[in-house]
Amino acid sequence: MSSPATSDREKVVSKLPGWLRQNLKVRAAQHGIEIQKAVEQGITRWCRLASSPDPIDTAGADSFATFLPPGQWDEFRQIASQRGVSLAQGLAQSVQLWLDANPAPEIKRPAVTRRIIVCNQKGGVGKTAITAGLGEALAESADQLHPVRVAKQLQQALQAAEQGRHEDGDTVLVADPLEIENLPGPGLRVLLVDFDPQCHLTNQLGAAPLPMDGDSLTNHMGGNPKGDLRDLIVSVEPETFGDRLHLLPACNDAFLLDVRLSSVRAREAALERALLPLEDDYDVILVDCPPSLGLSMDAAAYYGRRRENEEAGRSGALIVVQAEDSSADAYDLLTTQIEDLRNDLALDIDYLGIVVNLYDGRRGFIATSSLQGWVDIKDPRVVGLVTDRKEQKEAVRVKRPLLSYAPNCDQSVSMRALAREVA
């Protein structure tokens, strides 16, 4: 039942039901504790009881190994024998005791609803895919484990891009596999706002664009609502995201938004006036912005500004680019527009970072040198690196959220890493 110790612990092998093992894995991850430490604490608690707790159904229990302090397993075996319970039953009771003493932590909800505007003045860089993927990652269940690329690995990859060079001076990104860790989801309530008249976000998630003769976000921003904006919101795959991920669909009437805003008083605040009544229902609101230099982008940037008593870096602009030259030109246009708005209205608009999307180092010098250019900016820093893979295109084709269609693919893993970088 035991074998020689590694380090200062000894390996022990018993049995544990699969459902209890899974609960232990999730709860230990939620509390940031090693499974072996949780089992140690549970056994210590069990051994100190005057008698055994109620029996646990151990049907179907299979092999379970862990490492415990020297002597603890022998003490546990002796007490189990005295109480007349099997080692598997005693271990199951110990694990359940630890679970009962360490309930799942409450979801940390922001004091002020976070507002993230996903933007760039260039179309085709993947703003919609990043908006959807980030929202999905933020809404994933806190009671399940999901594969995540740990944050330090992103920085190591970017440092590799910065330092690694061929003999001819070309920058390269080292393609070594990055460390993956299984972590609980953030479990946040997320609203995705399709602010683009092309309706890409709406279509990609399998929802229907709003009819031109009905109500829409444009109507509410223009001061002519036809009902409650909540009535337009749809839940995105509630069986996967537990009704935490919602979408405000787009309408083609958004093509006319700049014209309508031109006659609206305090037009920069039009998006905020429309969405403010919804904010109490959500922890994060992500706005998929159109590639526009017009009034609609001003309204989006204003909505993402830092509010009074809000911490810096909680809301703001998340800029999506590709590793090619036209993204850099569009980036300059966007930041100029934001800086003008900052100065004209004396606003604090934070940059949450740059996401380099659809990256493929095999495309050679253009891709690798462009990535180097984004890394060199430093402020805002690169917070996400998402590779160009087939799963995103497939998810769009079947109109499914990426993180439910292919939860373990490289892009899904990167979306979860991005969620933790901007959290």
At 118, phi and psi to the nearest 5? -100, 115
Q: What is the CB neighbour count within 10 angstroms for residue 103?
A: 10
The DSSP bridge pattern shows strands 9-16 and 2-6 to be antiparallel
23 in helix, strand or coil? helix
Q: What is the pLDDT of residue 63?
A: 96
Contact 157/413 with Cβ under 8 angstroms? no
Q: Give the CB-side neighbour count of residue 347, counting CA atoms within 13 A.
A: 24
Q: What CATH architecture does domain 2-101 belong to? A: Orthogonal Bundle (1.10)
Edge to edge, what strands does the sheet with 382-387 contain?
234-235, 245-248, 190-194, 284-288, 114-119, 316-322, 351-359, 382-387
What single-letter amino acid sits at 291?
Answer: P
Per-residue tens of pLDDT for the chain, all 423 residues: 444 445 689 999 999 999 999 999 999 999 999 999 999 999 999 999 999 899 999 999 999 999 999 999 999 999 999 999 999 999 999 999 999 999 999 999 999 999 999 999 888 889 999 999 999 999 999 999 999 976 555 565 556 655 554 434 443 344 344 678 999 999 999 999 999 999 999 999 999 999 999 999 999 999 999 999 999 999 999 999 999 999 999 998 888 888 888 888 889 999 999 999 999 999 999 999 988 888 999 999 999 999 999 999 999 999 999 888 778 888 999 999 999 999 999 999 999 999 999 888 777 787 888 888 888 888 899 999 998 889 999 999 999 999 999 999 999 999 999 999 997
Contact 338/120 with Cβ under 8 angstroms? no
| CATH 1.10.1220 domain position(s) in the chain | 2-101
Alpha-carbon distance of 189 to 388, in angstroms, equals 28
At 175, phi and psi to the nearest 5? -100, 20
Alpha-carbon distance of 191 to 58, in angstroms, equals 41
DSSP 280-335: GG-SEEEEE--S--SHHHHHHHHHTSPPTTPPTTSSEEEEEEESSHHHHHHHHHHH
Alpha-carbon distance of 351 to 297, in angstroms, equals 15
Sign of the torsion angle spanned by Cα atoms 51, 54, 58, 62? negative
| CATH 3.40.50.300 domain position(s) in the chain | 114-422
Q: What is the CB neighbour count within 10 angstroms for residue 398?
A: 9
Q: What is the pLDDT of residue 162?
A: 54
* Dihedral of the alpha carbons of 163, 355, 350, 369, in degrees to the nearest 10: 40
Residue 72 exposed, middle or buried by CB count within 10 Å (0-12, 13-18, 19+): middle
Tokens found for residue 420: 């933790």
331-341 residues labelled b (16+ CB within 10 A) or e (exposed): beebeebbeeb
First to last CA, the chain: 44
pTM check: above 0.85: yes
Residues in Cβ contact with 333 at an 8 Å cutoff, skipping those fewer than 6 apart: 121, 293
Give the Cα-Cα-Cα angle 356, 361, 363 (nearest 5 degrees): 110
Question: Which residues face 353 on adjacent strands?
Answer: 318
Q: What is the pLDDT of residue 366?
A: 76
Alpha-carbon distance of 91 to 83, in angstroms, equals 13
List the one residue out of 252, 261, 330, 351 whose CA is nearest residue 298: 261
Alpha-carbon distance of 233 to 251, in angstroms, equals 13
Q: What CATH architecture does domain 114-422 belong to? A: 3-Layer(aba) Sandwich (3.40)
Alpha-carbon distance of 132 to 186, in angstroms, equals 15
